[in-house]
Amino acid sequence: MIWNATLYNEKHSFVAKYGEDVLGWLAPQKDEQILDVGCGTGTLTSKIAESGAVVTGIDASPEMIAKAKQTYSNIEFSVKDATNFSFNKKFDAAFSNATFHWVKNQQDVLQCIYNVLKTGGRLVYEMGAKYNIESIHNAVKKAMIEEGFEARTNTEVNYFSSAAEQAVMLEKAGFTISNIIQFERPTALVGKDGMKNWIIQFAQAFFKNIQKEKTETIIDKAVAVLKKTNYENGKWYADYIRLRVKAIKK
Ligand code: BEZ
């Protein structure tokens, strides 16, 4: 998947804004070594750095890492696959916001993080939980079927696991769960084209190899369906459900 870093920063900065709340669970301390997994354009990585911690940001997207490096030249960023990475140093803590659901093999992500943490190190992350943005994906799939692309509706775009599934994976990796919560967080999108922009950025995997005009028709149809349920008082909303975790490497 190719990430449009400009669209992300201009229309979807709420991802990092909400992520600031997750930083409260991380509570970064001066001089701690902290790893930000799926750092995107580096907004939250730089917030962590403000605490005086030494932060390293990794992301699978070269486009996002290029933008992060350009914006925050004082922070170390590198392109790495979250399911297969290592470092020649250990971290006091690892952090991740809105990343895990882009990875099918979340067990490997947890294992890689576990391996790079010091004993006693903490992992804090938030991700989309089971049934996250279900209305949006359903509307896109319905429009795809209407336009003759039923087979493509099986595309695995995200994996939203339940708290129970995540707990099993954490324990298998060796973590002890310190806190795990799930909550609904309807999220206001930006501007009159908020839903359209959201689909263009975050549901693009559905449209791989579908012609541009057809893709536009599908998106317009999905937006029209969603107007009945996800549009209120002139604002678009996405039906986000969050899973937030703090776990320790004992
Ligand atoms: C999320 O943060 O939950 C999310 C964002 C974009 C696509 C899918 C999920």
CA dist 144 and 120 (Å) reads 48
The residues with which 8 forms a beta bridge, in sequence order, are none
For the Cβ of 198 lying below 6 angstroms from any atom of ligand 1, the answer is no
Contact between 133 and 240 (Cβ < 8 Å): yes
Quickly list H helices, the chain.
Answer: 5-11, 14-26, 43-49, 62-71, 106-116, 134-146, 163-173, 194-202, 212-226
Structure tokens at 206: 């559905």
For the Cβ of 128 lying below 6 angstroms from any atom of ligand 1, the answer is yes
Amino acid at 81: D
CA dist 64 and 72 (Å) reads 12
**pLDDT, tens digit, 9 for 90 and up, residues 32-46:** 999 999 999 999 999
Sign, CA torsion 4/6/10/15? positive
Average pLDDT on 220-238 reads 98
CA dist 236 and 135 (Å) reads 13
Amino acid at 229: T
Of the listed ranges 1-5, 82-86, 170-174, 225-229, the one predicted with least confidence = 1-5
The angle subtended at Cα 238 by Cα 234 and Cα 240, nearest 5°, is 145
Number of structural domains (the chain) is 1
Q: How far is CA 51 from the centre of its chain?
A: 23
Average pLDDT on 130-147 reads 98
Q: Identify the band that residue 210 occupies on the pLDDT scale cut at 50, 70 and 90.
A: very high
Structure tokens at 147: 């336009």
Q: Determine the distance separating the centroid of ligand 1 and the alpha carbon of 131, expressed in angstroms.
A: 11
Write down how long the chain is: 250
197: containing domain: 5-249
Percent of all residues in the chain with a pLDDT value above 90, rounded to a whole number:
96
Supply the CATH number for residue 9's domain.
3.40.50.150
Position 20 scores a pLDDT of 93
Is residue 194 scored above 90 in pLDDT?
yes
Contact between 34 and 93 (Cβ < 8 Å): yes
Structure tokens at 101: 């659901």
Is residue 1 scored above 90 in pLDDT?
no
For the Cβ of 133 lying below 6 angstroms from any atom of ligand 1, the answer is yes
- For atom 9 of ligand 1, which residue has the closest CA? 128
The helix/strand/coil state of 32 is: coil
Whole-prediction pTM value?
0.96
CA dist 160 and 163 (Å) reads 10
Percent of all residues in the chain with a pLDDT value above 70, rounded to a whole number:
100
For the Cβ of 98 lying below 6 angstroms from any atom of ligand 1, the answer is yes
Q: Determine the distance separating the centroid of ligand 1 and the alpha carbon of 197, expressed in angstroms.
A: 13
The conformation of residue 154, written as its DSSP 8-state character, comes to G
Q: Identify the band that residue 80 occupies on the pLDDT scale cut at 50, 70 and 90.
A: very high
Position 134 scores a pLDDT of 98
For the Cβ of 160 lying below 6 angstroms from any atom of ligand 1, the answer is no
Contact between 238 and 187 (Cβ < 8 Å): yes
Quote the mean pLDDT of the chain. 97
Contact between 8 and 40 (Cβ < 8 Å): yes
Average pLDDT on 43-50 reads 98
Position 168 scores a pLDDT of 98
DSSP string, 63-100: HHHHHHHHH-TTSEEEE--TTS---SS-EEEEEEES-G
**pLDDT, tens digit, 9 for 90 and up, residues 87-130:** 999 999 999 999 999 999 999 999 999 999 999 999 999 999 99
Is residue 226 scored above 90 in pLDDT?
yes
CA dist 225 and 79 (Å) reads 38
